[in-house]
């Protein structure tokens, strides 16, 4: 009779070569260079729902940022065919229909390409931990391991800028507004608007927001990657 540990080991998916290569890229990592010295992959996912345990990714969109510029022509986008039916509630949000994903590639087909696309870039997203939770669950299930790229959350960076401005506004007798919804932040800061709940469009929206935030926070002393990784950590009610 096979014990539980042995059964789990038998079920474990062997690590895909792209996962092993990804692990090598981040065995050591320097956070102390200026933020413009790093490449970023800004990504977003659309989902069948919000349960990390039961729901799945149905599309991934990503754009590349290099030298604090969005690199045209190096976008990534794909639908992904889930192993469960697409709930009607999710279709109402992201407008992805069962017909669109009927012939889409599977996660096992798509994810090696996405891991290779990310390469040694840092990951960037709006509420990035949610997207990473779904991405890593899918990676473990299909490729035997998680992506190791460090990540930045534009929500926390936006919170850091908000905190700085709030201090100034209190000093001049004004009250700052707190809104960390991606679309509301774009409107607030006069950033070009993209279509909501589309993985590639949301990735572009986040990339534009990130570049705006970096420019403004540079002016108040945020210079290195470490500065931005720490951004928002002293604001407990961001989420």
Q: Higher model confidence: residue 218 or residue 232?
A: 218
Q: Greater confidence, 236 or 97?
A: 97
Q: Kindly tell me if the per-residue pLDDT of 222 is higher than 50.
A: yes
pLDDT digits (tens, 9 = 90+) for 121-141: 999 999 999 999 999 999 999
**pLDDT at residue 226, rounded to an integer:** 95
CATH class of the domain comprising 30-152: alpha beta
Q: Strand pairing of 122-125 and 76-79? A: unpaired
Q: Model pTM? A: 0.89
Alpha helices in the chain (DSSP H): 4-11, 17-25, 88-94, 98-101, 107-118, 128-143, 154-171, 182-189, 199-218, 225-229
Q: What is the full DSSP assignment across 166-226?
A: HHHHHHTT--------HHHHHHHHTPPP--TT-HHHHHHHHHHHHHHHHHHHHTTT--BHH
pLDDT of res. 91: 82
The radius of gyration of the chain from alpha carbons, rounded to an integer in Å, stands at 19
Structural tokens at position 209: 């927001």
Phi, psi at 220, each rounded to 5°: -115, 20
- The residue extents of the domains of the chain are 30-152, 154-229
């Amino acid at each position: 009779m096979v014990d539980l540990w042995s059964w789990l080991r038998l079920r474990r998916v062997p690590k895909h070569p792209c996962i092993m290569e990804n692990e090598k890229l981040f065995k050591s990592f320097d956070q102390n260079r200026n933020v413009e010295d790093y490449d970023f992959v800004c990504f977003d996912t659309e989902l069948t729902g919000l349960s990390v345990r039961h729901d799945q990714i149905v599309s991934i969109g990503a754009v590349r940022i290099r030298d604090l510029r969005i690199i045209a022509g190096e976008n990534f986008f794909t639908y992904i065919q889930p192993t469960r039916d697409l709930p009607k509630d999710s279709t109402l949000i992201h407008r992805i229909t069962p017909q669109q994903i009927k012939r889409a590639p599977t996660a096992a087909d798509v994810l090696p390409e996405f891991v290779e696309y990310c390469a040694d870039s840092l990951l960037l997203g709006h509420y990035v931990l949610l997207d990473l939770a779904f991405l890593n669950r899918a990676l473990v299930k299909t490729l035997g391991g998680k992506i190791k790229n460090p990540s930045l959350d534009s929500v926390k960076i936006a919170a850091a800028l908000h905190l700085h401005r709030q201090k100034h506004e209190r000093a001049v007798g004004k009250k700052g507004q707190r809104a960390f919804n991606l679309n509301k932040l774009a409107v607030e800061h006069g950033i070009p608007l993209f279509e909501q709940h589309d993985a590639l469009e949301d990735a572009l929206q986040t990339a534009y927001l990130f570049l705006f935030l970096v420019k403004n926070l540079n002016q108040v002393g945020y210079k290195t990657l470490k500065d931005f990784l720490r951004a928002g950590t002293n604001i407990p009610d961001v989420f």
